Amino acid sequence: MQSKGNSIKSDQDIINAVTGGDVRAFQELVKRYEQRVAATVIGMLGQCPEAEDVGQETFIRFYQTLSDFRGESSVVTYLTRIAINLSLNELKRRKRQFQRDMPLAAARSVAYDDARDHEPDQKEIIQQAIQKLSPKHRAVIVLRLLEGYSTKETAQILKLAHGTVLSRLSRGLEKLKELLEPYLGKDYEI
């Protein structure tokens, strides 16, 4: 990306350009991190229309708070934290909506099951199992196993103690294995 004849390379250079008035420079940050944000959001919410909305909202929130970004964590860590928080908000919204619309949700579930004409593959089975985890366990599983963050990074992103991350990871894996056993067998390794 070019800005006033200089090649912008680092995230901080881009942030400085944006806060200095070059709003088009922000597109470079979006290009760099949209895949990571999308993977995090889809890991939390599944493939759904809301996932795209949450992904876009992640970048909007980041842009709106760019002047507050102090660089204490990397841009990708900061974006991931925003994506996780927005995903958790969406899960809470879904839960409230489901409780209000329970009969409608049951009807949709039956219609969806009838419409499925193929057996899910292993990846789909695993994704569906992850979606059945509680949000607190799902967040740790997504960050540690799907996104590859370290335990320390996961703790920073979720603002949790290191031991809490390890505990949630252990319980989440236990539950995930339970959910997957009927489909993948007892010997399946996560």
Q: What is the tens place of the pLDDT at every residue in 128-150?
A: 889 999 999 999 999 998 899 99
Q: What is the dihedral angle through the alpha carbons of 126, 132, 135, 140, rounded to the nearest 10 degrees? A: -30
Q: Assess whether 75 and 145 both reside in one domain.
A: no
Residue numbers of the domain that contains 162: 119-190
pLDDT score of 181 more than 70: yes
Residue keyed to tokens 């409230």? 96
| Phi, psi dihedral angles at 134 (to 5 degrees) | -65, 155
CATH number of 159's domain: 1.10.10.10
Q: Assess whether 123 and 173 both reside in one domain.
A: yes
| Share of residues in the chain with pLDDT > 90 (%) | 56
Q: Assess whether 48 and 97 both reside in one domain.
A: yes
Helix (H, G, I), strand (E, B) or coil at 3: strand
| Phi, psi dihedral angles at 57 (to 5 degrees) | -65, -30
Q: How confident is the model at residue 41 (pLDDT cuts 50, 70, 90)?
A: very high
Given 117, 135, 161, the domain boundary residue is: 117
State which of 45-59, 64-78, 108-122 shows the largest mean pLDDT.
45-59
DSSP 8-state class, residue 8:
P
pLDDT score of 126 more than 90: no
pLDDT of res. 162: 95
CA 29/CA 9 separation, integer angstroms: 10
CA 140/CA 1 separation, integer angstroms: 34
Q: Assess whether 61 and 125 both reside in one domain.
A: no
pLDDT score of 49 more than 80: yes
